[in-house]
Structure 1
Amino acid sequence: MNLVLFDLDNTLLAGDSDFEWAQFLIRKGVLDRELQEAKNVRFYEQYKAGTLDIFEFLDFQLAPLARHPRAQLDAWHREFVQTAIRPMITAKARTLVRQHLDGGALVAVVTATNSFVTGPIVLGELGIPHLVATIPAQEGGAFTGKPRGMPAFRAGKIERVDNWLESLGLHWGSFARTWFYSDSHNDLPLMSRVSDPVAVDPDDTLRTHAEQAGWPVISLR
């Protein structure tokens, strides 16, 4: 059996669901545009530059989940998927996912974006059965605005994947080959862990690294 891992934002999606979720809430008037839009853009630029403080960002990104009832959040999210996410899913991305699923691989998305935002996208829109993501903490069925455990960011992705595999009774040695597809240099720790790293529409830093290392570089756009 093979293991196939995908990053989500700017890899399987032609855009960033984390950034777009905040922008969606701004457009709905849930977040104040004047106060929040500049923060959202700043965090996104820090992510691309490799300088993001993930815990500072999660304080910003998870706070709205703690302020609204789950039913309202779910309703907003359904609209978000329909209007913002479906246009980001390309035919090439769907085909690649289907090829690996049909080939019998264990397939998962591994993403720093929290599971509330990404779960319906990964399971409902892409048909991928497993999600390894940053987990929003809950108390009494309500979100607290804080993450639970290690965020799935940079080296944290390896820890989260290790724990997920262990929960299935598996480990890295269970697989003949392991893939990870990503666009971002932030994912170099996990890309260096697998047997078959693939750079997908990569940022400049990852492209340079991939070319020097002889990794495949592909486009799903």
Structure 2
Amino acid sequence: MSPSERQSPAVALFDLDHTLVPFDSGMAWFRFLVGRGEVRPALADDYLARCMDYVAGRATATQLHHFVAQSFRDLAPDRLQVLQRKFAAAVAADIPQAAHRLVAHHVGQGHRCCIVTATNRFVASALAHALGVGILLATEFETEDGRFTGRLAGAVCHGGEKIARVEHWLHGQDLRWDTIGHSVFYSDSASDLPLLQKVHEPVVIRPDPQLREHARTHGWRIADTLEALRLDRP
């Protein structure tokens, strides 16, 4: 990396679900718990129903993640730590090699990489670790005396809140949008339009219909799979 690049670092931001991984990590977590008899079998179905309500506009992101937060309340901290390690080992096999290549591509160029996701930190950290991304901005759950309370700690990392989280992270490195040499954000969802419109290079992966139309209109890069994404472009 040249001296000018060190002075003006590049930043690579990644959404998680349906972007770096082709699934909903929250659903993967609930199915993992159900498969091990840790929770009632219907919990995964309940989560799916709430996801469908969110997609249909019948529920907010906050309501969806509040449901997830409540599911943590009755699990003992020691047991959760064990389950988190086992979940991380299980889900690592489901991460596409194309996701590893994409992250490695940016790391290899000296870019500062960060996952920015609405998924809660407990679940998302397992995937971030497997992908080798050390910076994770995610939805936070409240804890008291080491135990989850079933409440959110602050706003869901969703929509415009993602900009606030990224700016706080940048501020901690004495950076601002106007001091970054280049910024790229990969996402699949129209809910991420605020951050996609903020970066220098928005890239959409397997986009939902609204995001696909917006990307076509504005000439953004579109890839229907990570495997189809060209990494040799400047």
Q: Same-fold call, TM > 0.5?
A: yes
Helix, strand or coil at the partner of 1:88:
coil
**What is the number of residues matched between the two proteins?**
218
Which residue is 1:105 aligned to?
111
Q: Is the 8 A contact 1:181 1:198 kept in 2?
A: yes
Could you say if the C-alpha distance between residues 52 and 98 of structure 1 is closer, same or farther in structure 2, counting changes exceeding 3 Å? farther
Q: In structure 1, what is the Cα distance between the partners aligned to 2:208 and 2:142?
A: 31
Aligned partners of 2:14 and 2:216: how far apart in 1?
A: 20
The whole-number CA distance in structure 1 between the counterparts of 2:115 and 2:210 is: 22
Q: 2:16 aligns with which of 8, 25, 28?
A: 8
Contact 1:62/1:136, CA 8 A, preserved across alignment: yes
Name 1:164's counterpart in structure 2.
Answer: 169
Distance (whole Å) between structure 1 residues aligned to residue 154 and residue 171 of structure 2: 16
2:86 counterpart of 1:88? no
User: In 1, Cα distance between the equivalents of 2:44 and 2:156?
Assistant: 23
The TM-score with structure 1 as length reference comes to: 0.91
* Letter aligned with residue 14 of structure 1: P
- Matches for 1:96-135 after TM superposition, within 5 Å: 96-122=102-128, 124-135=129-140
Q: 1:69 aligns with which of 49, 70, 76?
A: 76
Indicate whether 1:38 and 2:45 are aligned: yes
CA contact (8 A) 1:3 1:107 kept: yes
- Does residue 206 (structure 1) correspond to residue 214 (structure 2)? The answer is no
What CA deviation, in whole Å up to 9, does each residue of 1:166-188 have, x standing for no partner? 22222212211111000111111
Question: Does the 8 Å CA contact 2:204/2:221 hold for their aligned counterparts?
Answer: yes
Counterparts of 1:21 and 1:206, CA distance in 2: 27
> Contact between 1:50 and 1:186, CA under 8 Å: does it hold in 2?
no
Instruction: Report the 3-state secondary structure (helix = DSSP H, G, I; strand = E; otherwise coil) of the residue aligned with 1:217.
Output: strand
SS at structure 2 position matched to 1:20? helix
CA distance in structure 2 between the aligned counterparts of 1:25 and 1:58, rounded to whole angstroms: 17
- Give the match's secondary structure for 1:113: strand
How far, CA to CA, are the matches of 2:114 and 2:57 in structure 1?
Answer: 24
The Cα shift of 1:139 comes to: 1.5
Moved more, 96-105 or 68-77: 68-77
Coordinate RMSD, CA, aligned: 1.7
Higher helix share: 1
Deviation at 1:194, TM superposition (A): 0.8
The structure with the largest alpha-carbon Rg is 2
Indicate if the aligned counterparts of 1:150 and 1:160 stay in contact, CA closer than 8 A: no
| Deviations, residues 132-182 of structure 1 (Å, cap 9, x unaligned) | 111111112222111111210111111111222222222212211111000
Deviations 1:182-202 (A, max 9, x none): 011111111111110000121
Secondary structure at 2:93 match in 1: helix
Match of 1:192 in 2: 197
5+ long unaligned stretches in structure 1: none
Which 5+ residue runs of structure 2 have no aligned equivalent? 1-8, 228-234
Please name the residue that 1:58 is paired with. Answer: 65
Within 2, Cα distance between the matches of 1:66 and 1:13?
A: 27
- Secondary structure at the aligned position of 2:18 is classed as helix
